[in-house]
């Protein structure tokens, strides 16, 4: 009996994911734990693993396509059944005339199709789904220039971030306070340690939040709730959009430990290798645009957090 692999829910906020690429093809044998696809969520890029042994029977989702949580990504048939019948001789259900014509046009193997019609009948939509082409946009997909999935991926990340920022701006009263800080000693000290100014900012914030725990809180159901751990959210710009990895439980870390851990998170964000747990439970946000020469900007708080810290250009006055 075949089995479906569906998109798992990896966080409370996750609603959908985008297929970045398949690592297997139809007819390939797979085993439990084998990575079969790369999926991009609103927070990270994850490696999807097979949860059973068998043979890939169908991959109904095209690269670049967005799938809701629980949506079917792959169909896996029993390996013993494939050995008995052969991958090319797997029985298929009845097929509609339109589906038959489309299969011939695309040169598809009917064995890769799974019928969604009455009695398992294969209809046109089943063919288009496997082909990775929507039935109403075949011509436009053929004319699409190279790598449309990359464009879709970038737009998705920015759209999600825009939604979160809009929610924060509309629902959270924003009040800004600006202080000028003498960074002379920090600049001199960091050269000896080979540590970025941003690491000093992170360390200062972690220490401040430890000393003033009421600041390290979420707004939940109309009241402030102090959080037991200091988890600082960093804003990291990448080619795919803005990511917000979390420097977790950092109030007791040394300056060097904070610097090392922050560098690891930034590197993984740039390479698209953040894990879902790298992006959850942030309690305070730091946005630093000083390295870009920015002298003034306004940061936006995203719920459920209540405060954020912005850092601007460091220079002589």
Given a cut of 90, whether residue 267 has pLDDT beyond it is yes
C-alpha distances (whole Å) from 280 to each of 60, 110, 157, 165, 243 are: 30, 43, 16, 17, 12
Distance CA 79, CA 90 (A): 12
Q: Indicate if 170 and 292 belong to the same structural domain.
A: yes
pLDDT score, position 260: 96
Write the pLDDT tens digit of every residue in 212-233. Answer: 999 999 988 889 999 999 999 9
Last residue within a domain, chosen from 87, 118, 143: 143
Last residue within a domain, chosen from 85, 113, 143: 143
Taking the CA of residue 62 as centre, how many other CA atoms within 13 Å lie in the half-sphere pointing to its CB? 16
Q: Indicate if 188 and 291 belong to the same structural domain.
A: yes
Q: Indicate if 70 and 22 belong to the same structural domain.
A: yes
pLDDT score, position 84: 47
Q: Indicate if 213 and 306 belong to the same structural domain.
A: yes
Inside any domain, residue 232: yes
Inside any domain, residue 149: no
Write the pLDDT tens digit of every residue in 57-69. Answer: 888 888 888 899 9
Q: For residue 90, what are its two tokens?
A: 């797997």
Q: Indicate if 175 and 300 belong to the same structural domain.
A: yes
Inside any domain, residue 230: yes
How wide is the angle at C-alpha 21 spanned by C-alphas 16 and 27, nearest 5°?
110
Q: Indicate if 118 and 190 belong to the same structural domain.
A: no
User: pTM of the entire structure?
Assistant: 0.60
The answer for 74, left when phi > 0, alpha when psi is -120 to 50, beta otherwise, is beta
Inside any domain, residue 317: no
Q: Indicate if 231 and 129 belong to the same structural domain.
A: no
Q: Which of 29-33, 97-101, 118-122, 208-212 has the highest mean pLDDT?
A: 208-212
Q: Indicate if 231 and 97 belong to the same structural domain.
A: no
Name the residue with higher pLDDT: 274 or 43.
274
Given a cut of 90, whether residue 83 has pLDDT beyond it is no
Inside any domain, residue 153: no
Inside any domain, residue 271: yes
Q: Indicate if 172 and 304 belong to the same structural domain.
A: yes
Q: Indicate if 163 and 134 belong to the same structural domain.
A: no
Share of the chain above pLDDT 70, in %: 81
Write the pLDDT tens digit of every residue in 140-158. Answer: 444 445 545 444 444 566 6
Residue 136 burial class via C-beta count within 10 angstroms: exposed 0-12, middle 13-18, buried 19 and up: exposed
Residue range of the domain that includes 175: 159-311
Inside any domain, residue 316: no
Chain-centroid distance of CA 171 in Å reads: 25
- We report the CATH number of the domain holding residue 113 as 2.40.50.100
Distance CA 13, CA 1 (A): 33
- We report the CATH number of the domain holding residue 284 as 3.30.559.10
- Ranking 8-22, 111-125, 179-193, 225-239 by mean pLDDT, the lowest is 111-125
pLDDT score, position 125: 80
pLDDT score, position 238: 84
Distance CA 57, CA 53 (A): 12
How wide is the angle at C-alpha 247 spanned by C-alphas 19 and 47, nearest 5°?
20
Q: Indicate if 93 and 7 belong to the same structural domain.
A: yes
Q: For residue 138, what are its two tokens?
A: 């075949």
Write the pLDDT tens digit of every residue in 275-291. Answer: 878 888 899 999 988 88
Name the residue with higher pLDDT: 159 or 290.
290
pLDDT score, position 12: 67
Last residue within a domain, chosen from 82, 115, 143: 143
- Calculate mean pLDDT across residues 191-201: 89
- Calculate mean pLDDT across residues 102-106: 76
Nearest CA among 214, 195, 221 for reference residue 284: 214
Q: Please count the structural domains in the chain.
A: 2
- DSSP-assigned letter for residue 69: T
Q: Indicate if 289 and 198 belong to the same structural domain.
A: yes
């Amino acid at each position: 009996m075949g089995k479906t692999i569906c998109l798992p829910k990896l966080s409370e906020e996750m609603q959908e994911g985008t297929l970045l690429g398949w690592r297997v093809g139809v007819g390939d044998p797979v085993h439990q734990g084998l990575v079969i696809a790369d999926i991009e969520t609103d927070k990270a890029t994850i490696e999807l693993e097979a949860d059973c042994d068998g043979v890939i029977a169908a991959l109904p989702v095209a690269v670049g396509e967005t799938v809701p949580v629980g949506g079917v990504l792959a169909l896996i048939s029993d390996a013993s059944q494939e050995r008995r019948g052969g991958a090319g001789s797997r029985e298929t259900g009845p097929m509609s005339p339109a589906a038959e014509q489309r299969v011939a046009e695309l040169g598809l193997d009917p064995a890769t199709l799974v019928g969604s019609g009455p009695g398992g009948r294969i209809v046109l939509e089943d063919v288009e789904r496997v082909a990775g082409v929507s039935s109403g946009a075949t011509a436009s997909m053929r004319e699409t220039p190279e790598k449309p999935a990359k464009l879709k991926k970038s737009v998705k990340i920015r759209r999600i971030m825009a939604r979160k920022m809009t929610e924060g701006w509309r629902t959270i009263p924003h009040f800004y306070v600006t202080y000028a800080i003498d960074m002379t000693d920090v600049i001199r000290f960091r050269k000896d340690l080979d540590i970025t100014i941003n690491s000093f900012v992170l360390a200062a914030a972690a220490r401040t939040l430890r000393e003033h725990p009421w600041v390290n809180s979420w707004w939940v159901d109309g009241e402030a709730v102090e959080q037991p751990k200091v988890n600082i959210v960093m804003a990291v710009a990448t080619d795919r959009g803005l990511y917000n990895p979390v420097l977790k439980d950092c109030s007791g870390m040394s300056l060097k430990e904070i610097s090392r851990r922050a560098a690891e998170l930034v590197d993984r964000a740039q390479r698209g290798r953040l894990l879902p747990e790298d992006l959850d439970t942030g309690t305070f946000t730091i946005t630093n645009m000083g390295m870009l020469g920015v002298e003034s900007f306004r940061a936006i708080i995203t719920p459920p957090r209540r405060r954020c810290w912005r850092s601007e250009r460091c220079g002589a006055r």
